[in-house]
Homo-oligomer: A and B are copies of this chain.
Amino acid sequence: MTAQNSKASIIDGKAHAAKLKASIAAEAARLKAEHGLVPGLATILVGNDPASEVYVRNKNKTAESLGFKSVHHHLPADVSEAELLALVKALNADPSVHGILVQMPLPKHIREEAVLDTLDPAKDVDALTPYNAGLLLSGRAHLVSCTPMGVMMLLKETIGSIAGMEALVIGRSLLFGKPAAQLLLAANATVTMAHSRTKDLAEVCRRADILVAAIGKPEFVRGDWVKPGATVIDVGINRVDAGDGKSKLVGDVAYGEAAERAAHITPVPGGVGAMTIICLMRNTLIAAAALAGLPPLSL
Shortest CB distance A32–B (Å): 31
From known contacts A188-B195, A190-B199, infer whether A113 and B134 are also in contact, taking CB-CB under 8 Å. Answer: no
A137/B174 in contact, CB under 8 A: yes
Q: How many residues of A contact B (CB 8 A)?
A: 37
Binary CB contact string for chain A from 57 to 74 against chain B (1 if under 8 A, 0 otherwise): 000000000000000000
Question: Closest chain B residue to A128 by CB distance?
Answer: B138
A164/B130 in contact, CB under 8 A: no
A198/B133 in contact, CB under 8 A: no
Shortest CB distance A16–B (Å): 26
Quick one: which of B133, B182, B191, B197 contacts A138, CB cutoff 8 A? B133
- The interface residues of chain B lying within 8 Å CB-to-CB of A166 are 199
CA distance A126 to B113 in the complex (A): 23
- The interface residues of chain B lying within 8 Å CB-to-CB of A130 are 130-132, 134-135, 137-138, 140
CA distance A181 to B204 in the complex (A): 17
Shortest CB distance A148–B (Å): 12
Binary CB contact string for chain A from 201 to 219 against chain B (1 if under 8 A, 0 otherwise): 0001001000000000000
Q: Does A29 contact B (CB under 8 A)?
A: no
- The interface residues of chain B lying within 8 Å CB-to-CB of A193 are 181, 185, 190-193
- The interface residues of chain B lying within 8 Å CB-to-CB of A131 are 130-131, 134
Q: Does A178 contact B (CB under 8 A)?
A: yes
B172/A185 in contact, CB under 8 A: yes
Q: Does A288 contact B (CB under 8 A)?
A: no
Per the 8 Å Cβ criterion, residues 160-200 of A in contact with B are 163-166, 172, 174, 178-179, 181-182, 185, 188, 190-195, 197-199
B137/A135 in contact, CB under 8 A: no
Q: Does A105 contact B (CB under 8 A)?
A: no
- The interface residues of chain B lying within 8 Å CB-to-CB of A172 are 185
- The interface residues of chain B lying within 8 Å CB-to-CB of A191 are 192-193
Quick one: which of B116, B139, B192 contacts A192, CB cutoff 8 A? B192
CA distance A194 to B184 in the complex (A): 11
CA distance A190 to B193 in the complex (A): 6
Binary CB contact string for chain A from 249 to 289 against chain B (1 if under 8 A, 0 otherwise): 00000000000000000000000000000000000000000
Q: Does A144 contact B (CB under 8 A)?
A: no
- A-B contacts, 18 of them at CB < 8 A, read A129-B134, A130-B135, A130-B137, A130-B140, A131-B134, A133-B133, A133-B137, A134-B135, A137-B137, A163-B197, A164-B198, A165-B199, A178-B182, A185-B193, A185-B195, A190-B198, A192-B193, A193-B193
Q: Which A residues have a C-beta under 8 Å from some C-beta of B?
A: 113, 116, 129-140, 163-166, 172, 174, 178-179, 181-182, 185, 188, 190-195, 197-199, 204, 207
